[in-house]
Amino acid sequence: MTDLSGITGAVQTGISNTNSSSQTLSADMNTFLTLLTTQLKYQDPLDPMDTAEFTNQLVQYSNVEQSIQMNSKLDNLLTLNIASLASQAVSYIGKTVQVLGDVMPLEGGKAKATYTLDKDASSVTITVKDMNGKVVYTESGEKTSGTHEFTWDGKDKDGNQLEDGAYQIIVSPKGATSSDTVKVTTTIFGKVTGVASDGNGIYVGLGDAVTANLNDIITIRNDDYFDKIDGGSNGDNENGGGEETPPEDGDNNNNTASA
């Protein structure tokens, strides 16, 4: 199971910041009141100090205090929302998900990804790198516009079986001319092994080495989806059965290898 302990508990960061602001304001308020009472104590009774300025400052302190309390309530709502989404995401454990990104898990000698070209290319090169940036596998890909599948059996260019883990897929299309740019979008597949959350969103573990933001999930498929992979080469994309629509939780983030 992917180690997600590094991102759990961080949801308390926003609440901690709000509490710190509240404590700072309270300390400043006490200091202000001490100075105010001291000034009033020693003021000239024949020429009393202007109390309008003191009143104005008290009102400003009150407004700041109300803003901090509002932020605290918003932090609580955010925490509850993230907890609710995390509870829903637990049902994805054991399912195979398709995620926007380029870091794919190799699980049991199987890895799968897709790439989409916005137009025809003159050539397409698919490169797989390990997390140290070393190229372990390359092949030529489909050149026509649209979505194509890439499956990999986890063997390097010499036919050696590589260990399961996180690998980056890089799709490099070339246009008809040097000035012709072909845009490419990649997605990866992985079996969900865990769920975690922090102050920014919900994350799922894919295999033993990859984490992905819940908001990057495109489809959720039956847990036997990888068993249907023939492996070896890329081709046209085929949808698996049992697709579901994941909940949305916020900003889009790319999937990354976990620490």
Residue owning tokens 């995390």: 86
Q: Which two tokens stand for residue 167?
A: 């690998």
pLDDT in tens, 136-192: 999 999 999 999 999 999 999 899 999 999 999 999 999 888 888 999 999 999 999
pLDDT at 22 over 80: no
Give the range among 138-147, 190-199, 204-213 with minimum mean pLDDT: 190-199
pTM for this predicted structure: 0.60
Query: CATH assignment of 1-259?
Result: 2.60.40.4070
Domains in the chain: boundaries: 1-259
Instruction: Check if the beta carbon of residue 2 is closer than 8 Å to that of residue 208.
Output: yes
